[in-house]
Structure 1
Amino acid sequence: MYPQNKQRQTANVTPAQLGIIVALVFIIGFVLGNQITNIQAQTNVTLPPEFQPLQEAYNTIQDQYIEDVAIDVLVDGAITGMVEALDDQFSAYMPPEIYQDFNISMSGDMEGIGATITTDDETGEMYIVDVLPNTPAEAAGVQPGDVFVAVNGESVEDWDQTQLVTNVRGPAGTVVNITFRRGDDLIELSITRDRFEIPNVEYEVLEDDIGYISMYDFSERSRAQLDEALNILDVNNLNGLIFDLRGNPGGLLTSAIEIGSAFIEEGPILYERFSDGSEITFSADGSYAGIEVPIVVLVNQGSASASELIAGALQDTGVATIIGDVTFGKGSVQTVLGLSNGGGLRITVARWLTPNRNSIDGKGVVPDIRVPIPEDFDYQRDGDIQLQAAVEFLSQTEAAID
C-alpha cells in the first residue's frame, strides 16, 4: 500500500503561475525560495535629481487631491511602483503587516487558514493551489481549484494577492467568511483561523522496507526535523530512502545548505553568481548524516528554488536518483531588507548554479526518470504513480544488489 495523502492534491498550475504562488497559511505574502537577510536598508543616501518629479507628485497630491490620503498609503504605492518597474516576479514590496508575518513564517510557525494560492494570468482570478494537512482550511473543506469570489461579503474581483492575504489572515480564534466558486457552484465557508506549525516533515516505512520522508518547505527547523525522521526510521537498516520534495516551493537558503549537507559529505552544494560576475561557493557544512542506502528524490512542477537546489546537487554528485516531473525552474536568489516603515523589500540579487555549474533558471531540473502526470490523471483511480515508480526503482535496485 502507498500513503494516500503523500502526493499533495494540488490544482494544475503553469510555470508562470507558480512563480507568483503565495504560500498562504494566509500569512506569507510572497513566494518562498529566498535568502533572507533582515538588515535595514540604507537611509543616508541622497536621492538623485531624477527623483524630483516624485516629490512634485507627492506635493501636488497633498495640496490638490479632492480626498485626504494617508501618507503611508502613498509611500506604499510609490515603493510598489518602483519594484514593479523591475519586471521581476520574484522581487516584491511587503507592507509592514505582511512583512511581520513573513518573518514569523520563516521560523516555521503559521497563523491563518493553511492553504496556498496563485493568480490565473489570463483571468486574473485567485484560486487555491494546495491545502495543508491538519489546518483550518482542510477542516472547513477547502479544495484545490477553489476560486475566491468574496471575503467577509466583499468581492475580491479588484483585489491583488496582498489585499487578499491581508483580509483572509487574522488572529487565531477569529472567523473569516469566504465565498469560493467550485465548478459552477458557489461555496460559502466560515473558517476559524488558527496558529500552527507547518507539518513540514512526514515520514514512514513503506513496503519492501523503504523509508519515506516528505518535506513541505525549507525553514529554520527543517534540518532538525529531517534528522529526527532519519533517526526514527533507522534509515541505514532499510532498503532505500525516498525524499519527497513535490510541491515544496523552497525557503531559506541556509536551510537548504543544511539539508544538502545531510546527504552530501563534502564539496560544493551550489554557487551563487552576482551581476558583476563574482561568485560565492556554498559547500557541505560537515553535518553529513551518513546515509548508506540508495536514495530517490521525488520532484514535480511544484518543486521550486531550494527544492531544485537540493535535487540538482544530489543529481550532480550522484548521491540520489531524481524521479518525477521537470521542476519549476527558479534559479535566482533574493534578499529581504527591512525598511524604516516596518515593511520589507525583497529583491533578486544573484543566480545560483548546481555543483556542475548548471543553471536551472527557466528550465528546471530534469529527472533521471521522468514520470509526468497525465492530463486525465485521477488520483483516486490511479494512485500516486510517481511514488509507485520510486518504490519500484528502489525495490529493483535492492534486488540487483542482492
Structure 2
Amino acid sequence: MISTSMLMILLQAPLSIHASTAEGDKLVSNTSDQAQSKSAYRFEEVLSLLSTLHISGASKDKLLDAALQGMVDSLDDPYTEYYEPSKGNEFQNAVNGQRVGLGFHLAINDKGTYVNQIFQGTPAEQGGLRAGDYLLAVGGQQVSTLSQNALNQVLSGKKEGDSIAIMILRGEEKKLLTLTYASIQYPIVTHNLFNGKIGYIRVYTFSWNAELEFAKALEDLQSQGMTSLIVDLRDNGGGYVEVAQKLAEHFIENGVFMYEKKQGVSEPQPVEIKEGHSLGLPVSVLINTYSASASEMFAGFMQDHKLATIIGTRSYGKGVAQQVIPLISGGTLKVTSMEWLTPQQHKVNEVGIEPDIEVSGEIETLLRGLLALHTKQLDLELTDTMTFCNQVELPVNVPFKKVGENYYVPARLLAALAQAEIHWDASSQVVTIKSNSSDVGYHVSSVVTGDAFLLNGTSWVQLDAFQKQLSKLSWTASGQELTIHLSQE
C-alpha cells in the first residue's frame, strides 16, 4: 500500500505543472544526468587505471573501499563511518554488548593490579580466574612494569580462539593460567535492591534487548517493595534512539521525549510519548564523562521533566544521531542524519548534560545517588579487594590506610558521605570539606601522620578527625576490614 501510494504521488505531481515548467525541469534533469554520468565515468576510469597500472597491484575492491572512506572523511564528522564488508557487524555487536574478550574487569590498589569482577560463563571463569586474584604477568610481561594503558593493549586486540598466559597470585600461591579469547555477550542491564528498598538498575548499552531487560528488572524490584530508584548510565556510550524512548515511557504518561533537527526542516520537531506509564517514585540518574548519545537523551528527558535528580559529572556531549544502513553492494554506512535537543530544547551536542549534583568517582557518585533518595542507613564495608554498600557487592575497590591505630580514607569519599563539596588549596596545603552545616579545612601533611596527609595525589583524612565534622558517622575496624556507618535518622 505504501509503495503504491508513493507511485501515485510521483505520477500525479507533474499534472499540475505548466508545460514550460515541466520542460525546464526536463532540461535540468538531463543536464544533471549528464554531469552524474561524466563523474561516474571519471571515477570508473581512475579506478581501472590505478588497479591496472600502479606498482602496488592494489585490487579494485581495496581502492573502492579507500574511495568510499575518502567520501566519509571529507565530511569531517567523527560519527559518520563506512565499514568494509568484513567489518560491517562491528558497530552492531558493540551496541549489543558483544565482543571478543576474556570476561573480567581489573582494579588497582596498593598491592597491585587485581581482578575485581568476573562475568559468568566467560573464558575467565572457565579458565579458573577468580575475583581477588592479583596479576603478576600477562603474555610474558611483568604487570608491575606496565602502565594501565599498556596492560590494556596487551590484553586487547585479540581474535576469537587466541590464547594468553596469565600468572596470578592467590593468597600466598602463584598460579599460571591460560585463557582463550571468545565472543562474549556482556551484560546489557543488571539490577539490585539496596537496604532501604532503593532499587538500582545499571544500563550498559541501549541495545535492542535493553528495554525488555529494563522492564524485567523494574518489575522484579517493584515486586520486592522498591520505594525509590537509581538508574546508572555511567560509561554507557549510547545505542538506539528508539530504545532510549522506550525506557523513557516507563516514567511518564505523555510528554515530549526530545526535539529533532533534520536536513531541510527549519524548525526542530517534537518526538512525543503518548502512551507511557508514570513510575511515581523518586529517581536518581547517574552519569559521567563517558555517558553519551542515547544516555544523554534519556538523562536530558528525565532532567527537563523533573522526573529525576541527575548526579555525576558533565556527560560526553553527543547530541547527534546516526542511521545505520547496510549497503546492497556490501559494507555498512553509518551516517549522521539529525541533531537532537532536550524537551526544553537545550543543545547537547559538544555541550553535554550538566548534572544537578556534581561529583566524580565511582563509589562517590553512587553514594550521592543513594543519599539523594534519603536512605536512612548507609553501611560501607571495605576490604583489600572487595566493597559492599548496604550488603550489595560493588565492582569497585575503595582504598583505606591503617597507620598505627588510626584509619584514613580518601577525602572525596568523606565529602560524598557528608553530601559536601570538596576544595583543594595548593598554596596552603589545605583540603576543605564544605557542607550545608559545616565547613572544615584539613591541613594536609607530606608525612603520613596527623589529621590528613597527601600521598600519590590523594588527600587522606583520619576518620576520628572527620567524625567531629559529621557526628552521624561511626566506624569499626578489624585487621584489614573497615566498616563505615552513616545514619540519617
Q: Is the 8 A contact 2:97 2:187 kept in 1?
A: no
Which protein shows a greater Rg? 2
Structure 1 regions of 5+ residues with no counterpart? 1-43, 117-130, 152-163, 180-187, 374-378
- Partners of 1:273 and 1:236 in 2: how far apart? 42
SS at match of 2:89: helix
Q: Is the 8 A contact 1:239 1:394 kept in 2?
A: no
Give the corresponding residue for 1:145: 149
- Partners of 1:46 and 1:265 in 2: how far apart? 52
Q: Which moved more, 1:268-277 or 1:360-369?
A: 268-277
1:202 and 2:190 correspond: yes
The 1:292/1:282 distance shift into structure 2, 3 A limit, reads: same
- Partners of 1:282 and 1:189 in 2: how far apart? 52
Give the corresponding residue for 2:272: 283
- Partners of 1:342 and 1:260 in 2: how far apart? 35
The 1:147/1:70 distance shift into structure 2, 3 A limit, reads: farther
**Cα-to-partner distance string for 1:69-115 (whole Å, 9 max, x where unaligned):** 22211111111111011111101111112213434555x36241168
- Partners of 1:105 and 1:389 in 2: how far apart? 30
Equivalent residue letter for 1:360 = V
Give the corresponding residue for 2:248: 260
Q: Is the 8 A contact 1:335 1:346 kept in 2?
A: yes
Give the corresponding residue for 1:64: 53
Q: Is the 8 A contact 2:191 2:217 kept in 1?
A: yes
**Cα-to-partner distance string for 1:163-198 (whole Å, 9 max, x where unaligned):** x96xx344xxx125599xxxxxxxx99652323433
Q: Which of 202, 208, 221 is residue 220 of structure 1 equivalent to?
A: 208
Q: Is the 8 A contact 2:260 2:339 kept in 1?
A: yes
Q: Is the 8 A contact 2:97 2:207 kept in 1?
A: no
Give the corresponding residue for 2:228: 240
Q: Is the 8 A contact 1:218 1:306 kept in 2?
A: yes
The 1:109/1:216 distance shift into structure 2, 3 A limit, reads: closer
1:328 and 2:328 correspond: no
SS at match of 1:366: coil
Aligned 1:287-306 pairs, distance under 5 A: 287-288=276-277, 290-306=278-294
Q: Is the 8 A contact 1:330 1:362 kept in 2?
A: yes
Q: Which of 359, 378, 386 is residue 365 of structure 2 equivalent to?
A: 386
Equivalent residue letter for 1:89 = P
Q: Is the 8 A contact 1:113 1:137 kept in 2?
A: no
Q: Is the 8 A contact 2:48 2:60 kept in 1?
A: no
The 1:332/1:236 distance shift into structure 2, 3 A limit, reads: farther
- Partners of 1:189 and 1:45 in 2: how far apart? 66
SS at match of 1:238: coil
Give the corresponding residue for 2:74: 85
**Cα-to-partner distance string for 1:263-291 (whole Å, 9 max, x where unaligned):** 12211101110132254432225242x42
**Cα-to-partner distance string for 1:125-172 (whole Å, 9 max, x where unaligned):** xxxxxx994554797778963466679xxxxxxxxxxxx96xx344xx
The 1:241/1:150 distance shift into structure 2, 3 A limit, reads: closer
**Overall identity of the aligned pairs, in %:** 29
SS at match of 2:52: helix
Q: Which of 336, 348, 351 is residue 363 of structure 1 equivalent to?
A: 351
Q: Is the 8 A contact 1:202 1:215 kept in 2?
A: yes
Please report how far the alpha carbon of residue 201 of structure 1 lies from its aligned counterpart in structure 2 after TM superposition: 0.9
SS at match of 2:212: helix
**Cα-to-partner distance string for 1:280-313 (whole Å, 9 max, x where unaligned):** 432225242x422200000000100000000000
Structure 2 regions of 5+ residues with no counterpart? 1-32, 105-116, 130-134, 139-146, 167-175, 378-488
Q: Root-mean-square deviation (CA), in Å?
A: 3.5
Q: Is the 8 A contact 2:47 2:64 kept in 1?
A: no
Q: How does the TM-score come out when normalised to structure 1?
A: 0.67
Q: Which moved more, 1:64-73 or 1:349-358?
A: 64-73
Give the corresponding residue for 1:76: 65
SS at match of 1:47: helix
Aligned 1:107-126 pairs, distance under 5 A: 108=96, 110-113=98-101
- Structure number with higher strand proportion: 2
1:231 and 2:210 correspond: no
SS at match of 1:250: coil
Please report how far the alpha carbon of residue 324 of structure 1 lies from its aligned counterpart in structure 2 after TM superposition: 0.6
Q: Which of 144, 149, 162 is residue 175 of structure 1 equivalent to?
A: 162
**Cα-to-partner distance string for 1:312-355 (whole Å, 9 max, x where unaligned):** 00000011110111000000011111213320111111100111
- Partners of 2:35 and 2:88 in 1: how far apart? 25
- Partners of 1:239 and 1:213 in 2: how far apart? 14
Give the corresponding residue for 2:297: 309
The 1:189/1:304 distance shift into structure 2, 3 A limit, reads: farther
Give the corresponding residue for 1:211: 199
Q: Is the 8 A contact 1:264 1:314 kept in 2?
A: no
SS at match of 2:63: helix
